Amino acid sequence: MEETLIEEGESNREGGEVSPALIAVHPLEKSLAVSIGSELRVFDLIEDCSISLVDDSGGPLHSDSIRAICFGANGKLFASAGDDKLVKVWTTNPWRCISTVIAEKRVSAVAISHDGLFVSFADKFGVVWVTGTDGDHEAKEKASPLFGHYCSIITSLEFSPDGRFIVSADRDFKIRVTVFPKNPFSGAHEIQSFCLGHTEFVSCLSFVCTQEHPQGFLLSGSGDSTVRLWDVRSGSLLDTCEVGSEAGLSECDGKEENVCPAITDICTSADGSIVAVGIQRQLAWSGSLKLRSFCKNSICYQACIHGWDFCSN
């Protein structure tokens, strides 16, 4: 689970950009990572205590806003990256930084492959990079370019559950599904599909899986206040949920134009039965954020592919 919160009054030094606070939960719910600005903290959910972080990488510490954090699929690896152009790879048992990659541009998204062998990140220029580990928690300190989004800021990266694809979203409404090659350091040259349909920037991605569909389906959230369900292999749009309308947040509120609340984050339960959606009320710079949860019966998931029954909690 990862949620993006807006802290009022905290902004990036360069352009007044609002700096996020990020939360990521270990896949087995062993720990909780929180970043606020340049500070990263981890809490042990089992022992109910904070965890000391050790940096053995020999690289610098985070010195500017962290923009992306994530756990690997099995929770053994964790990555943090941000405006200081650093991508730091951590082991979680024990917690220590094993690699610091210095990027060419500020980093906007990060993802760890499901086998734990690769860490991919995107910069503000729209280039996706990849670095590797040897599988025994030793990570490389250099990255190679994987592919690009033609100067569009990439907002989110996700590996598909079967490891075949890496999915990237950007501020130009696009979602690109790229075949992840056996040798990613030579670049990724095969595009599987594009998922097109959002009418505003795509803010977040998440895969939802069930026993019947272990390969997963893609969920995307956008500034157009919708959550959309995709088949990544074909790029087909399977369904759209007007989350702003469902949550009752797209009302005029006495203004000339309707407020269209952006989707800020999506996360799903392990069995695919619950989808949690973060919704930001676009009240300019007030930093107001509202979270709503939407659920659907996992038994009816196959039918929900053709028409979700989202209900507000």
104-136: pLDDT as tens digits: 999 999 999 999 999 999 998 999 999 998 655
Q: Is the pLDDT of residue 190 over 90?
A: yes
**Boundary residue ending a domain (147, 177, 196):** 196
**Boundary residue ending a domain (177, 196, 215):** 196
Nearest to 282 by CA among 294, 270, 264, 266: 264
Q: Is the pLDDT of residue 17 over 60?
A: no
- Domain of 300 in residue numbering reads as 200-313
**H or E element that contains 164:** none
Domain count, the chain: 2
Same domain, 150 and 252: no
More confident residue, 233 or 150: 233
- Which domain CATH number covers 17? 2.130.10.10
Q: Which two tokens stand for residue 42?
A: 């981890």
Same domain, 189 and 125: yes
Same domain, 179 and 235: no
Q: Is the pLDDT of residue 20 over 70?
A: no
Q: Look at residue 187 in the predicted model and tell me its pLDDT.
A: 93
More confident residue, 19 or 114: 114
Same domain, 282 and 144: no
Find how far residue 16's CA is from the centre of its chain. Answer: 23
Same domain, 53 and 154: yes
Q: Is the pLDDT of residue 186 over 90?
A: yes
Same domain, 192 and 204: no
- Confidence grade of residue 5 (pLDDT, cut at 50, 70, 90): very low
Question: Which residue is associated with the tokens 């152009």?
Answer: 85
Same domain, 290 and 181: no
Same domain, 263 and 159: no
Cα separation, 107 vs 112, in Å, equals 15
Q: Look at residue 276 in the predicted model and tell me its pLDDT.
A: 81
Residues 6+ away with beta carbon under 8 Å from 1 = 23, 24, 25, 267, 276
219-266: pLDDT as tens digits: 999 999 899 999 999 999 998 988 877 666 555 444 545 567 888 888
Same domain, 174 and 63: yes
- Confidence grade of residue 311 (pLDDT, cut at 50, 70, 90): very low
**Lowest-confidence region among 98-102, 141-145, 196-200:** 141-145
Torsion angle, CA of 123/126/127/128, rounded to 10 degrees? Answer: 70
Q: Which two tokens stand for residue 198?
A: 């959002």
More confident residue, 185 or 20: 185
**Boundary residue ending a domain (152, 167, 196):** 196
